[in-house]
A and B are shown apart, each in its own frame.
Chain A
Amino acid sequence: MIVSVDRLGRKVSQNFEYIADLLLLTYLSFRSTLIGQTEGWRTLYSVISAQIYFTGWQAMPLIIFLAIGSGALVAMQSIMQMTFLGGVDYVGNFMLMIIVREIGPLLTALIVIARSGTAVAAELGSMQVNKELDALKTMGINPLSFVIFPRLVGGIVSVLCLSFYFVIFATLSGALVCRIMKGMPFDVYFTSLSQAASMSDVFVFVIKNFMSGLIIFSVCCYQGLKVEKSPHEIPQMTTQAVVKSTVYVLALNFLITIYFYFGSIMNLGIL
């Protein structure tokens, strides 16, 4: 029993240490860019643009495909259940709860982890092995501002944009399904959707996606930097990057949802 408690304690403290390292990496990359950067802004801007292009723009077809599919599925299931309960007009609430609050941010984050998180971890790992980060330092270019900062900023912007487009396409496909299956007019669907939405949904959406982007790219950069000298470490660190960023993103989504859910229940006076 005590051994298990010890083991659990060790795991918890290791996770706290890891999170502290991630925060330090993020802080130092922003600090070195905002304080130390004097001349390289144009070069940095091009690196950030490239990151947004690879992470955001190139992932758009996959995100649109998934959004249309999941939006249609959620709408279909909602309509079927709500027909039995006699509340088809509330399908907008379902779409908002499931797509905007949960599936949109989560699926987008998982796609970004699979597509770009792995690429970032592997790229940084191979940069370590090839002494590219040392080379940057010898050129007077801080890797924290030239390599890490653009990936963090580009990653966060991309996740926010991708998630926004996911929600747009998912709700549109939902509208189409409602129209085809139930003959629901578009204005009824969108009125239901807009009545269900509140400012807190916008806030939760932004905070979830911002934090997911930050977690994914700080974890993947950190794991990439942990590669020391041998190429065989690259796949190991990439795998760890995927596992850790998935776990942290899921935990974050879970915590925000719980906070939001309990907040709503407390507002209703149930608890």
Chain B
Amino acid sequence: MSGVFKNIKFSKVSVGFEGQEILQACDFDFPMNKNCRFVFANDREKYFFFHAASQVEGFTAGSYSINQENVLEMSFEDFMKFRINMGFGFSTRGLLQNRTLRQNLLLPLEFHNLFVGPERVEWLNNCLEYFDIRSDLDKRPSEVSPSTQKSTLILRAFIHQPELVFLDTPEALLSKRHQANLLQMIDDHRKHHNLRHLFFATADEDLSDCLADEYIILSKKRLKHVTTQNKSRGVA
């Protein structure tokens, strides 16, 4: 089965937010079909990099191509064919405050008409096996614990069975048991659903050891591959 994302590439890309450049004339081929850990010097770089890569914003020069198509020249509607196959797990925040957790989880499915009728409920129940937030499903984000909010954020990134997922600090606020469930969920999505490419950032070395196939470090405004053997040197 062939996926939507054949290759993802930065060519002479510069990315800047609020007057500060985080990438400058950067050439980079994203490793495909792998779990890649991105390492950043600080949270600001991490947030802006994920923001740029997932939402195609903040680019000041160069081209960001997916399957040889420059997505920087695409409108929101043109980019939809890729976006619908992407998931993004925010570090914190990002839940719609005027909707319940259930509505937050179901919104992408309802909006894009995925999993119709009983299938939708069945799929939601299936997802909830990994993070048991059933008792809080009909509460709004402000009424539940940060850990439950985080679980919802992660579940929402995977709810539409994306092929590519960005996860920003997935371990934050999760218990060890939920972290283990997260790894299981990623594994299941790889085996039984569409997940092929996972790009994540974490501060947890144990999680990284369990999950990362490759390490990519943002240093001197460039992205560089670091082999698994040299990761501790690279990360340091």
Q: Which residues of A contact B (CB under 8 A)?
A: 32, 35-36, 39-40, 42-43, 123, 126-127, 130-132, 134-142, 146
How far is B52's CA from A195's CA once the two chains are assembled, in angstroms?
Answer: 63
Segment at the interface with A among B90-98, B132-140, B196-204:
B90-98
Cβ-based interface call for B212 (8 A): no
Which residues on A sit within 8 Å (CB–CB) of B90?
A: 131, 134-135
How far is B74's CA from A168's CA once the two chains are assembled, in angstroms?
Answer: 50
Q: Which residues of B contact A (CB under 8 A)?
A: 51, 54-55, 75-77, 80, 83-84, 86-88, 90, 93-98, 107-108, 110-113, 156, 160
Which residues on B sit within 8 Å (CB–CB) of A138?
A: 54-55, 83, 86-88, 94
How far is B108's CA from A137's CA once the two chains are assembled, in angstroms?
Answer: 10
Tell me if B93 and A139 are in contact (CB < 8 A). Answer: no
Q: Give the residue of B75, B83, B86, B111 whose beta carbon is less than 8 angstroms from that of A40.
A: B111
Q: How many inter-chain contacts with C-beta < 8 Å in the A-B complex?
A: 70
What is the distance, in angstroms, from B127's C-beta to the closest C-beta of chain A?
15
Secondary structure call for the B interface: mixed
How far is B156's CA from A71's CA once the two chains are assembled, in angstroms?
Answer: 53
What is the distance, in angstroms, from B228's C-beta to the closest C-beta of chain A?
29
Tell me if A142 and B76 are in contact (CB < 8 A). Answer: yes
Tell me if A35 and B77 are in contact (CB < 8 A). Answer: yes
Tell me if B94 and A134 are in contact (CB < 8 A). Answer: yes
Given contacts A39-B111, A40-B111, A43-B110, contact A137 B55 (CB under 8 A): yes
Tell me if B112 and A40 are in contact (CB < 8 A). Answer: yes
Tell me if A39 and B97 are in contact (CB < 8 A). Answer: no
Tell me if B111 and A141 are in contact (CB < 8 A). Answer: yes
Which residues on B sit within 8 Å (CB–CB) of A134?
A: 51, 55, 90, 94
Which residues on A sit within 8 Å (CB–CB) of B75?
A: 36
What is the distance, in angstroms, from B85's C-beta to the closest C-beta of chain A?
9
Tell me if B112 and A130 are in contact (CB < 8 A). Answer: no
Tell me if A130 and B93 are in contact (CB < 8 A). Answer: yes
Tell me if A139 and B107 are in contact (CB < 8 A). Answer: yes
16 contacts between A and B (CB under 8 A): A36-B75, A36-B77, A43-B110, A43-B111, A123-B98, A126-B97, A130-B93, A131-B93, A132-B97, A134-B51, A135-B94, A138-B54, A138-B83, A140-B80, A140-B108, A146-B111
How far is B82's CA from A137's CA once the two chains are assembled, in angstroms?
Answer: 12
